[in-house]
Amino acid sequence: MAKRPRVSVKQFDQICEELADGNTLEKICRSENLPSWRTVLRHVQE
């Protein structure tokens, strides 16, 4: 079974900073170096 993509601390910090600046999670996660917004939400739930 394949492992789920993880969100690194660096990526999570970047996402939090951009959320604080008023960007939406969906817009932030369109960046190539970030996981999908669904992956981020799964990470937060864990």
Cα–Cα distance, 41 to 2 (Å, whole number): 19
Instruction: Give me the residue spans of the domains in the chain.
Output: 9-45
Query: What is the per-residue pLDDT for 36?
Result: 95
Query: What is the per-residue pLDDT for 4?
Result: 66
Query: What is the per-residue pLDDT for 18?
Result: 97
How far is CA 23 from each of CA 1, 4, 7, 17, 37, rounded to the nearest angstrom?
A: 34, 25, 18, 9, 13
Query: What is the per-residue pLDDT for 6?
Result: 83
Cα–Cα distance, 22 to 43 (Å, whole number): 21
Summarised one tens digit per residue, pLDDT across range 9-42 is: 999 999 999 999 999 999 999 999 999 999 999 9
